[in-house]
Amino acid sequence: MSYHRLPYRRVAAAALLLASNFAAPAGAQFKKDVPSRPTIPCEAVDSIGVAQMTADGVITLQLRSLPPDPIAEGKLRYAPDDPQYGEIKQHLGGIAPGETKLLRPWC
């Protein structure tokens, strides 16, 4: 009895093609079935974190996610030579070295 062996790459490619044909419709159906969560209007949010300026002028934003999303936090640092530095400083309404301010959302 002889067996014909298919090359591994062809089998893997066929499996991937088959899986992708089922995954897209299943994902689309899942999105339809997930109930939408209520969102908080941007204007109603007082703070999404804090901003602090160090003595050398670096602005650090410590951000946090808003409910009902899962808790997530992150830090962004903007040095005075960063292209977005002016925009960040303006959004904060100004900030001085050593100062910490609440960070309101960008609405």
Q: How confident is the model at residue 13 (pLDDT cuts 50, 70, 90)?
A: very low
In a domain, 32, yes or no: no
Q: Which residue has the higher pLDDT, 55 or 3?
A: 55
pTM of the model: 0.61
Q: What is the pLDDT of residue 36?
A: 62
Domain that holds residue 73: 42-103
In a domain, 36, yes or no: no
In a domain, 82, yes or no: yes
Average pLDDT, integer, range 11-29: 43
In a domain, 74, yes or no: yes
Number of domains observed in the structure of the chain: 1
Distance CA 21, CA 93 (A): 51
In a domain, 29, yes or no: no
**Cα–Cα distances in angstroms (integers) from residue 84 to residues 42, 63, 88, 89, 91, in the given order:** 22, 16, 6, 9, 11
Q: What is the pLDDT of residue 1?
A: 46
- For every residue of 65-97, DSSP letters joined together read PPTTSPP-EEEEEE-TTSTTHHHHHHHTT---T
In a domain, 51, yes or no: yes
